[in-house]
Amino acid sequence: KAGVTQTPRYLIKTRGQQVTLSCSPISGHRSVSWYQQTPGQGLQFLFEYFSETQRNKGNFPGRFSGRQFSNSRSEMNVSTLELGDSALYLCASSLANLYNEQFFGPGTRLTVL
């Protein structure tokens, strides 16, 4: 089974711009979650989608948004980029079972200049 894929792998943007990141989950996984990883804060939960509905959201400003399509693929959007948004953005998919096991993609490294 193919793993979680994320595109692009690297992005460089300037402050004020917006960015869209894409994620394709493992086949059969209907839950997709997004995480931000930075050296200072570690891995922090952004939001989770299941069957095209956002079921859970972390403590991030409204500039961070996402959506999920009928084929379970997901996109994440960050508007009005700030320097502090520079991070590794990780997508994870799961079977949404009791144990909440997450399978991560390789991430998108976003650099905001």
Partner 1 sequence: TQLLEQSPQFLSIQEGENLTVYCNSSSVFSSLQWYRQEPGEGPVLLVTVVTGGEVKKLKRLTFQFGDARKDSSLHITAAQPGDTGLYLCAGAKAGGTSYGKLTFGQGTILTVHP
Binding residues for partner 1, rule: CB under 8 A, are: 4, 31-33, 42-45, 47-50, 55-56, 58, 90, 92, 94, 96, 98-107, 109
CB 49 to partner 1: min, Å: 8
Residue 109, CB-side half-sphere exposure with 13 Å CA sphere: 3
CB 24 to partner 1: min, Å: 13
Judged by CB, which is closer to partner 1: 15, or 55?
A: 55
DSSP letter for 25, please.
Answer: P
CB 80 to partner 1: min, Å: 25
Tokens 């403590």 belong to 59
Residue 8, CA distances (Å) to 40, 68, 101 in order: 23, 17, 24
